[in-house]
């Protein structure tokens, strides 16, 4: 808690919690209120103020409780809880005025609409900045910086610092107090671009825009936006003008009843005259925003580069066989298309070698799939060690491998295939549990030829596959070249 943070009134909190119960009586709440003379005096003062609009002046706490009723007393207690959350000092006063301005605007809007539940509207307006007040209890300077920004940009400013939207934080707080859903809905939706459908949420939405006219930015534009928002919820013409004229007076009166002195609240016309004096303070906030946006731009560039590299890795993964690390069938198909096109352009030779591990099913059945995986990885390693630079090996599927051999005719491709076959035959593989495994493969080789038809790749694969199966039928562990 900040050192100038006030403790929240315990009795007010208890009354809020008890008022939730459907069978609580005003008498019970009055009994609770009398336990704290300071709280009782504040309730009487609030009940007599223009804020809650009780018609007949009351003189003691029990009378105040009877006139306010359960819901009214709950709202008074909520107001005191909120005001007690606001720290003292200049930063705290900025937060308090912003909260009171929204509360007063909401009450005036409800009054203009003929709504009887004026205290509900006042309380909803008071809760619109509760998310910022919650932040102030651990970071007063940061919360005050947000509160000094023009109202329309506060959510952007909060998100830029990763502190979260105060509307959502406030709505969660209201829900945690088990208040009516209409109250939390009003808090959650007061920054939406268009007015919500629920009555209390519409009042809060308009109150946010009315209050924002006093809080920095293009005054004429903000006043027009406030007037338009009032008209959208049903407060039109002179009624809207009169509402904004009365707002500073209600804000000042509310601060007095909460026993928190604030600076004099001025009309919009006077505010425009004083605008030049406020520009210095506003420019500090804008400078902070610009610096933060510059930092965000750098972070964005760094994230973009990380995303690019991640996409490269993903693309590689999509084209790579996880077990062997060789290109997969999809990648090989792309490479084959390119190599055939290159061979045709340059009128050079191109061959395809296909190999299949001998008796692979028997190996799996005898020693398990883990042993089979070890053998396939070893085949891939042998291919890498025996092939030329520019040759393209790939795992074609299961125990089948293929290799593109650019600039190699039938004789040259046969030499490469024989080199791989011999190296594989001579290789011992350390299998699971110390088992020593040996593997051989059958090889088929085919070369690109003129007149192979429109689909040269399919023709080349078909002929290499036929040669490989001929090698198997001839006893396996051998190379057959289709000439």
| pLDDT score recorded for residue 384 | 94
- Given a contact cutoff of 8 angstroms between Cβ atoms, the answer to whether 172 and 135 are in contact is no
**From CA 75, how far away is CA 119, in angstroms rounded?**
7
Question: Strands 479-482 and 441-447, how do they pair?
Answer: parallel
The residue extents of the domains of the chain are 10-295, 329-482
Sequential pLDDT tens for the chain (483 residues): 445 554 456 766 777 767 666 677 777 777 777 777 777 777 787 777 766 555 677 777 787 777 777 777 777 777 777 777 888 888 888 999 999 999 999 999 999 999 988 888 988 998 899 888 888 888 888 888 888 888 877 877 777 666 678 889 889 988 887 778 999 999 999 999 999 999 999 999 999 999 999 987 778 888 999 999 999 999 999 999 999 999 999 999 888 877 788 888 888 888 766 655 455 455 555 556 666 666 776 777 787 788 788 777 776 667 889 899 999 999 999 999 999 999 999 999 999 999 999 999 999 999 999 999 999 999 999 999 999 889 999 999 999 999 999 999 999 999 999 999 999 999 998 877 778 889 999 999 999 976 555 789 999 999 999 999 999 999 999 999 997
Number of Cβ within a 10 Å radius of residue 60: 12
Distance of CA 220 to the CA centre of its chain: 34
| pLDDT score recorded for residue 247 | 95
Architecture of domain 10-295: Orthogonal Bundle (1.10)
Q: Which of 111, 158, 339, 399 is catalytic?
A: 399
Active site residue 28: no
The three-class DSSP label of residue 9 is coil
The three-class DSSP label of residue 144 is helix
DSSP letter assigned to residue 327: B
Q: Which CATH number fits domain 329-482: 3.40.50.12590, 1.10.40.60, 3.40.630.30, 3.30.70.270?
A: 3.30.70.270
- Given a contact cutoff of 8 angstroms between Cβ atoms, the answer to whether 95 and 149 are in contact is no
| pLDDT score recorded for residue 291 | 64
């Amino acid at each position: 808690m900040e050192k100038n943070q006030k403790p929240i009134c315990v009795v007010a909190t208890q009354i809020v919690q008890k008022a939730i119960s459907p069978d609580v009586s005003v008498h019970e709440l009055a009994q609770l209120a009398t336990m704290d003379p300071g709280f009782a005096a504040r309730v009487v003062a609030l009940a007599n103020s223009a804020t809650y609009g009780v018609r007949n002046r009351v003189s003691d706490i029990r009378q105040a409780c009877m006139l306010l009723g359960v819901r009214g007393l709950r709202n008074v207690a909520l107001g005191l809880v909120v005001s007690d959350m606001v720290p003292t000092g200049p930063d705290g006063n900025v937060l308090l005025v912003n909260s009171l301005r929204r509360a007063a605007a909401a009450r005036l809007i409800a009054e203009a609409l003929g709504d009887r539940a004026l205290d509900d509207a006042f309380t909803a307006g008071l809760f619109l900045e509760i998310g910022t007040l919650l932040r102030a209890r651990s970071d007063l300077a940061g919360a005050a910086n947000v509160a000094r920004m023009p109202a329309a940009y506060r959510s952007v400013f909060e998100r830029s610092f990763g502190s979260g939207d105060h509307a959502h934080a406030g709505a969660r707080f209201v829900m945690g107090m088990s208040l009516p859903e209409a109250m939390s809905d009003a808090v959650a939706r007061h920054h939406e671009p268009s007015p919500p459908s629920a009555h209390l949420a519409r009042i809060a939405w308009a109150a946010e825009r009315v209050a924002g006219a006093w809080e920095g930015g293009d005054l004429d534009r903000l006043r027009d936006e406030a007037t338009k928002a009032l008209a959208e919820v049903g407060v039109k013409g002179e009624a809207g003008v009169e509402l904004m004229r009365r707002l500073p007076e209600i804000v000042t009166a509310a601060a007095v009843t909460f026993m928190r002195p604030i600076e004099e609240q001025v009309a919009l016309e006077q505010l425009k005259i004083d605008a030049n004096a406020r520009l210095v303070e506003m420019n500090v906030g804008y400078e902070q925003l610009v610096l933060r946006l510059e930092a965000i731009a750098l972070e964005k560039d760094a994230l973009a580069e990380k995303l690019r590299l991640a996409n490269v890795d993903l693309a590689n993964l999509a084209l790579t066989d996880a077990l062997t690390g060789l290109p997969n069938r999809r990648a090989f198909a792309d490479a084959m298309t390119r190599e055939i096109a290159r061979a045709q352009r340059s009128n050079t030779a191109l061959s395809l070698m296909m190999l299949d591990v001998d008796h692979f099913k028997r190996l799996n059945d005898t020693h398990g799939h883990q042993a089979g995986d070890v053998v396939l990885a070893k085949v891939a390693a042998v291919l890498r060690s025996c092939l030329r630079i520019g040759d393209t090996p790939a795992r074609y599927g299961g125990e089948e491998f293929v290799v593109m051999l650019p600039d190699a005719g039938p004789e040259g491709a046969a030499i490469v295939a024989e080199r791989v076959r011999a190296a594989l035959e001579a290789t011992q593989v350390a299998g699971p549990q110390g088992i020593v495994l040996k593997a051989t493969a059958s090889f088929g080789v085919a070369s690109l030829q003129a007149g192979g038809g429109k689909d040269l790749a399919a023709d080349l694969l078909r002929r290499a596959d036929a040669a490989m199966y001929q090698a198997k039928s001839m006893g396996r562990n051998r190379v057959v070249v289709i000439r």
